Amino acid sequence: MADLDFILKRAVSEIIDEQELRKLLDSGKTLRLKEGFDPSSTDIHLGHMVGLRKLRQLQELGLQVVLIVGDWTAQIGDPTGASVTRPMLTAEQVKVNAETYMQQFFKIVDRSKTEVRWQSEWFGKFTLADVIKLTSRFTIAQMLAREDFKKRFESNRPITITEFLYPLLQAYDSVMVKADVEFGGNDQKFNLLVGRELQSMIGQPAQQVFLTPILTGTDGTKKMSKSLGNYIGVAESPENIFGKVMSIGDDLIIQYFDLLTDVTDEELRHFERDIESGRTNPMLLKKRLAREIINQLYNQSEAADAEIAFERVHQRREMPEEISECKVSFEAMKSGDCEDIDLPCLMVATGLAASKGEAKRLIQQGGVSLEGEKVTSEKARITSGCVLKAGKRKFARIINTDIISAS
């Protein structure tokens, strides 16, 4: 169990108000720690894990996590404030997404110490009068204090009334569950402060705001995001997680150790000095990092197996022990009248690429090999049972169904 100073200082951007929070923690009260999500998608990645680890650490001190499922707001669509609006979802879609999300959530957070609340419990009964009463408590000037709203207003870019409602709805969640502390990333600061203010207005103790840093994605530049494709999902296989961690830039090693592991501060400083001085091969630290992360999501045995698989495939250039078989009709994949196979079509059919465009790019970049030999053309003569590899971690054994049918 981590000590309190470690919990409140490591992987923390800001606590509002830290002194008040420490007093609450010292009081012995079972604090209610609020974390909310809109189930507009299903995947949790390591960026989310930064805050979820804090919830788990505080649970181990005896505190209660309250998970808010934003099923009501997800059904009406959630404007992002950028250039697109999230699609409206049906109740069934929301339920499916929420169940998948919670399975991943509880890979990190203790289910037995978590209270799950569905937002529709209170918003399902909301009337227009309730909406007007809620909005009357805040001014447009207060909303424009939010940085992205302010920038868009000053540059004459549109802001919908619905977007102004979202911070208020999130704040109302805090009122309904009587949150003592609300958690979020740096980009959620405004919304969490609105919750703190609304609670004070109606006579509840104001929630403490616990902000965690934004994890940089595997591309090394932008925040980790599924839409940007630079993420590592918590539900991915240990082998995939290990491989993706090994692919990050050396400049991300310390940040990932800092935000995603419990290695001591002293050890972290030691890692940093060794990297700067060149005394340590960064690959060894990445392997340690990958093991630390997989241990939390799976176990030590699976972390060790993932490391062995990585070394076999990527360091010794050997084939994985298990390669999925993909059955396709070679006749359907032929390129024109010749016997050659259209590789982009084959890669899409076998799941090695999401689109023909992606497959062509991989081939052009030298990222595709057939039976260990790099492919340079989009056409190839292949035989049933051969192994096709795309990128660093995707393999498929191609089985010709025409032969199966003929036999």
How distant is the alpha carbon of residue 352 from its chain centre? 22
Number of Cα atoms under 13 Å in the Cβ half of residue 136: 7
CB 272 within 8 A of CB 288: no
Q: Are 238 and 303 in contact (CB under 8 A)?
A: yes
Give 64's strand partners: 32
226 has binding-site annotation? yes
12 contacts: CB under 8 Å, gap ≥ 6: 54, 210, 211, 212, 213
Sign, CA dihedral 128-129-132-134, equals: negative
Nearest to 367 by CA among 344, 384, 386: 344
H or E element: which one contains 334?
none
d(CA 287, CA 246): 7
Measured in whole angstroms, how far is the alpha carbon of residue 269 from the centre of its chain? 27
**Secondary structure of residue 374 in the 3-state scheme:** strand
Cα–Cα distance measured from residue 27 to residue 25, given in angstroms and rounded to the nearest whole number = 5
Nearest C-alpha neighbor of 377 from the set 407, 405, 349, 341:
341
Rounded to whole angstroms, the Cα distance separating 245 from 228 reads 17
Cross-strand bridge partners of residue 398: 326
Cα(34)–Cα(208) distance, rounded to whole angstroms?
10
What are the residue ranges of helices labelled H in 144-263? 147-154, 161-177, 189-201, 238-246, 253-260
How far is 8 from 31, CA to CA, in rounded Å?
15
Cβ neighbours of residue 175 under 8 Å, at least 6 residues apart? 195, 198, 199, 202, 204
How far CA 260 is from CA of 44, 167, 257, 334, in Å, comes to: 14, 28, 5, 47
Binding residues: 226
Binding residues for ATP: 226
